[in-house]
Amino acid sequence: MLIESLEGRTLMSVSAIDPKITADRLEVKADLLKFRLDLVSNSLTISADTTLLRKDGLKNDALLNGLLKTFHSDVKTMHAELFADNLNEKVNVLTDQLAIVIEKLQILRDKGNATALAADNQRLLADRVQLQTDDINGLNTRITTRQVFLTTLTNDIDALVTAAESDPNASAQLQADIQKFASDRSTGLATLTSDLQAIVTARTQLASDLMALET
């Protein structure tokens, strides 16, 4: 079962409300929400599929059960790499958020000094652009990890389906269950990767509009 999350941190707003930035932030939030909902939906679907496989005798078929275990092992390896990718992204993002907090404190200290405040706000925007950049880089790393494993997982699924079709010990119902499991797994992998790519696009637009404010 896929358990992967994107942290639900608040997207820090700019001092002067800009319509483009507001729209960009809403788009990022919407894409993050879709990713989380798809994670839950995919997990529930796969859990239901696995229950059917067990009910209809998968564990009694050594060949098919072994192939499914291979698939789950490869998924587990992918999850471990995604977890490491996520931790690295969080370290970079926390560093950026700390820089933003420090800059906000400096803005408070420079209250009344127009020249200093102008410089502070420029640095604050630069810090926010860096935050989005590090988020984008982290997301791209996770997308790459998923794509690297996609071939392996697809081959695992194909091997399971092919074996089920020619296995005399597999009932018609078990064969149908495996077909559904394979279809749902493939759809889920593609959907979650697409969701991450949408988040990258939204964050790239946000970073671009923040950079436009700098100029």
The tens digit of pLDDT for each residue in 133-155 reads 998 999 899 899 988 998 899 99
pTM above 0.85, yes or no: no
Pick from 50, 44, 1: which is nearest to 181 by CA?
A: 50
Q: Domain residue spans in the chain?
A: 19-214
First-to-last alpha carbon distance for the chain, in angstroms, is: 46
Does the CA dihedral 16-20-25-30 come out positive or negative?
Answer: positive
The tens digit of pLDDT for each residue in 158-207 reads 999 999 999 998 899 999 999 999 999 989 989 998 999 999 999 899 88
Instruction: Quickly state the pLDDT bin for 10 (edges 50, 70, 90).
Output: very low
165: exposed, middle or buried (Cβ count in 10 Å: 0-12, 13-18, 19+): exposed
Size of the chain in residues:
215
Is pLDDT larger for residue 8 or for residue 113?
A: 113
Query: For residue 87, what pLDDT is reported?
Result: 95
Pick from 67, 84, 81: which is nearest to 164 by CA?
A: 67
Q: How many CA atoms lie within 13 A of 5 on its CB side?
A: 5
* Mean pLDDT (whole number) for 93-104: 94
Residue 98, helix vs strand vs coil: helix
d(CA 157, CA 153) in angstroms, rounded, equals 6
Query: For residue 59, what pLDDT is reported?
Result: 87
H helices, E strands: number in the chain: 4, 0
Query: For residue 6, what pLDDT is reported?
Result: 53
d(CA 60, CA 12) in angstroms, rounded, equals 54
Does the CA dihedral 109-114-116-117 come out positive or negative?
Answer: positive
